[in-house]
A and B are shown apart, each in its own frame.
Chain A
Amino acid sequence: MSGVVNGRAAAPGVGVGALVRWDLRDERSTPARESGHVDERARLAAAIVRVERELAQMQQRLDSADAAAILDFQRELLRDPELRARIDETLDEHGAAAALTSAMGHFVALLETLDDANLRERAADVRDLERRLLRALSGRAVSAAMSLAAPSVLSAQRFFPSDLLEIDREKLAGLCLSGVGAGSHVVLLARALGVPVVLCDSTALRDVPDGARVLVDGQRGRIVIEPSDAEIAASQQEATMIVGGGPGRGGVRITAVVGSIAEAQAARARGAAGIGLLRTEFLFAGVQRTFAPSVAEQAAAYRMFAEIFPEDGITIRLFDAGGDKPLPFLPVEQEANPALGTRGVRLLLKRPGLLRDQMRAIISVAHLRAQVRLLVPMVTDVGELLRVRAVFDEECGAIDGVERPQFGVMIEVPAAALMADVLAEHVDFFSIGTNDLAQYTLAVDRDDARYAAYGDALHPAVLRLVEMTVRAAHAHGRPVSVCGEAAGRADAAAALMALGVDELAVG
């Protein structure tokens, strides 16, 4: 059979291989009670030593900070006295393997009760360590379990970081995972290691026979069954083209979405025609800050970005923070629905001092360099827009003879798109955030693996809102840019350009 299965792109790249169903591999040896409790203690001790050595060796071999952090945690777990104590409780009676499983199970359950998603994610790391210890106990050689006969695409519901680290990566063409989120450790690791990943529903590949040739397109988020050579070539070419950036077609500018100097420099090297979105919240999030950065500090930072693109424009977005992505100097109380709560411009309007400082910093950079644009996140209605515009006008007026930056808003909420004609009167440009717009329009959580295909920016409902926004903007002579995953996909980009979008900001 041939065909296409749609999912969600989680790690970029394109790979072709034979389909292997990972979960059905014969992995687990039944924990059996061995005779003599002395043997059990010795076996457990030997297994722990062996796993510690494996982890240490892997840490040395790998270049990735993410991998190192995950392994570090597992090494610390091996030394955990509470874990050992719990294993000891049932070791004599039930044997090493059963005692281990029950002790680990207890802590996994404990971690899964926590509110913090990051902490809950650690339960998967504990499970991962459990499997590693069980394997060491059973004496099976690790390498035997992880070898692949030919270039393979693995389909799995349960796939752990250590699987990815140990598997024969030369032969790993790509992964199709269900049961994990886009932010999970195994996906982050795959990105760091350059392995393409598509997330899809657990039944998506049900009808595909084992060993069938499949293509994993981590760019578009899809799996092609029995792809033709032409399809393979096209996918690989698209992947290079979008990542490469370069001049737009038909007058469309291709700019970059950046959150650091390094990203800006890389974008410049690729030929991006400017910064389509500077995520300022990323610039001041990596250091200890319980109070906001000063005007001078911000101005210096924004100037550095402007200097990387001296002839092109840069678009600086005000701090976009909220309940689900807090900044230390922009805290938000706990909310039942952070996606529907205090975020974006709503949060900024509650902190007028901070808002003014940031605007001043951006205005000061605009004064020195042409084509600086200021962008307001998550605007929902014209009242909000007018309030923030009033602050902007005051700050511009306060400095004599200043070159004013252009003023624009993000369209990422359906209400804003539907009222784009009203908003267009009060702005110089729009920037459509398709990730959030798709989420709010289709009522789907971006990070929910089950609805990976739902949140697609090519959904006609989303495209209609884009079209509405572009029409309203152009009627007032304002340009429109698009940022989001869609801007970086060849098929979506083509659709957006056909709708008249003026700029694609690719991240």
Chain B
Amino acid sequence: MPEVWVTVPAGRALHARPAAALARAAASFRCVIAFENRTNGRGPVNARSVVSLLSLGASAGAQLCISADGDDAAEALTALSLEFERLLEAEAPA
């Protein structure tokens, strides 16, 4: 199954605002998308579920694995990894 890794930058965390935006982005694809926090072992969780994304407890430095299974998997992974970076950069530091 194709996957891509992203890291939560220093001073940031996957809080409600980025989680909500990621869930909305994931919903626009057909494939099944999952997020897993490889740093604390939480997940994999359904990327379309905002509360599940929050439950990953992804804080500064956490390495997340995004995996996708389906027709548009490659497209989804590219879009979501870019969106992830954009959203977290835009977050104010905690």
Q: Which of A233-241, A285-293, A391-399, A447-455 contacts B (4 or more CB under 8 A)?
A: A285-293
User: Are A80 and B49 in contact (CB-based, < 8 A)?
Assistant: yes
- A83 at interface (Cβ–Cβ under 8 A)? yes
Q: Tell me the smallest distance from the CB of B87 to a CB of chain A, in Å.
A: 11
User: Are B51 and A83 in contact (CB-based, < 8 A)?
Assistant: yes
Taken together as a complex, chains A and B put the C-alpha atoms of A326 and B89 apart, in Å, by 15
- A229 at interface (Cβ–Cβ under 8 A)? no
- Closest A residue, CB atoms, query B26: A81
Give B16-47 interface residues, CB cut-off 8 Å to A: 16-17, 19-20, 23-24, 27, 45-46
Contact of B11 among A110, A114, A119, A328 (CB under 8 A): A328
Return chain A residues, CB-CB under 8 Å to B19.
Answer: 76
User: Are B20 and A73 in contact (CB-based, < 8 A)?
Assistant: yes
User: Are B60 and A326 in contact (CB-based, < 8 A)?
Assistant: yes
User: Are A80 and B94 in contact (CB-based, < 8 A)?
Assistant: no
- A410 at interface (Cβ–Cβ under 8 A)? no
- Closest B residue, CB atoms, query A78: B50
User: Are A327 and B54 in contact (CB-based, < 8 A)?
Assistant: no
User: Are B9 and A83 in contact (CB-based, < 8 A)?
Assistant: no
Give A303-338 interface residues, CB cut-off 8 Å to B: 326-329, 331
User: Are A81 and B10 in contact (CB-based, < 8 A)?
Assistant: no
Q: Tell me the smallest distance from the CB of B20 to a CB of chain A, in Å.
A: 4
Taken together as a complex, chains A and B put the C-alpha atoms of A118 and B49 apart, in Å, by 18
Taken together as a complex, chains A and B put the C-alpha atoms of A186 and B1 apart, in Å, by 43
Contact of B55 among A72, A111, A285, A288 (CB under 8 A): A111
Q: Tell me the smallest distance from the CB of B24 to a CB of chain A, in Å.
A: 7
Interface core residue of B20, B46, B59 (most chain A CB under 10 Å): B20
- A207 at interface (Cβ–Cβ under 8 A)? no
- A69 at interface (Cβ–Cβ under 8 A)? yes
Contact of B93 among A72, A73, A328 (CB under 8 A): A328
Taken together as a complex, chains A and B put the C-alpha atoms of A227 and B45 apart, in Å, by 55
Return chain B residues, CB-CB under 8 Å to A116.
Answer: 13, 15, 57, 59, 94
Given A115-B59, A331-B10, A331-B60, are A69 and B54 neighbors across the interface (CB < 8 Å)? Answer: no
Taken together as a complex, chains A and B put the C-alpha atoms of A77 and B48 apart, in Å, by 10
Contact of B50 among A76, A286, A327, A328 (CB under 8 A): A76
Return chain B residues, CB-CB under 8 Å to A125.
Answer: 16
User: Are A328 and B57 in contact (CB-based, < 8 A)?
Assistant: no
Contact of A327 among B16, B46, B49, B93 (CB under 8 A): B93
Mask, A71-107, CB within 8 Å of B = 1, is 0110011011111000000000000000000000001
Contact of A122 among B16, B24, B46, B92 (CB under 8 A): B16
Given A82-B51, A119-B57, A331-B10, are A69 and B16 neighbors across the interface (CB < 8 Å)? Answer: yes
- A126 at interface (Cβ–Cβ under 8 A)? yes
User: Are B54 and A111 in contact (CB-based, < 8 A)?
Assistant: yes
- B52 at interface (Cβ–Cβ under 8 A)? yes
Q: Tell me the smallest distance from the CB of B48 to a CB of chain A, in Å.
A: 5
- Closest B residue, CB atoms, query A73: B16
- Closest A residue, CB atoms, query B9: A290
Return chain A residues, CB-CB under 8 Å to B59.
Answer: 115-116
Given A114-B57, A118-B15, A326-B11, are A77 and B51 neighbors across the interface (CB < 8 Å)? Answer: yes
Taken together as a complex, chains A and B put the C-alpha atoms of A315 and B74 apart, in Å, by 53
Return chain A residues, CB-CB under 8 Å to B48.
Answer: 80-81
User: Are A119 and B60 in contact (CB-based, < 8 A)?
Assistant: no
User: Are A76 and B94 in contact (CB-based, < 8 A)?
Assistant: no
Return chain A residues, CB-CB under 8 Å to B13.
Answer: 116, 118-119
Mask, B83-94, CB within 8 Å of A = 1, is 000000110111
User: Are B20 and A76 in contact (CB-based, < 8 A)?
Assistant: yes
Return chain B residues, CB-CB under 8 Å to A83.
Answer: 49, 51
Contact of A77 among B15, B50, B55, B93 (CB under 8 A): B50
Contact of A126 among B11, B46, B51, B94 (CB under 8 A): B51
Q: Tell me the smallest distance from the CB of A383 to a CB of chain B, in Å.
A: 29
Taken together as a complex, chains A and B put the C-alpha atoms of A290 and B93 apart, in Å, by 10
Mask, B62-94, CB within 8 Å of A = 1, is 000000000000000000000000000110111
Give A174-195 interface residues, CB cut-off 8 Å to B: none
Return chain B residues, CB-CB under 8 Å to A82.
Answer: 45-46, 49, 51-52
A-B contact pairs, 25 of them (CB 8 A): A72-B20, A73-B20, A76-B19, A76-B20, A80-B23, A80-B52, A81-B49, A82-B52, A114-B54, A115-B59, A116-B13, A116-B15, A116-B57, A119-B57, A122-B54, A285-B92, A288-B90, A290-B11, A326-B60, A326-B93, A326-B94, A328-B9, A328-B11, A328-B12, A329-B11
Closest 8 CB pairs of A and B: A328-B11, A82-B49, A288-B89, A76-B20, A331-B10, A114-B57, A73-B16, A76-B50
Known: A82-B49, A110-B55, A326-B11. 14 other contacts (CB 8 A): A72-B17, A73-B17, A73-B50, A76-B19, A79-B50, A80-B50, A82-B52, A111-B55, A114-B54, A118-B15, A125-B16, A288-B90, A328-B9, A328-B93
User: Which residues of B line the A interface, CB within 8 A?
Assistant: 9-13, 15-17, 19-20, 23-24, 27, 45-46, 48-52, 54-55, 57, 59-60, 89-90, 92-94
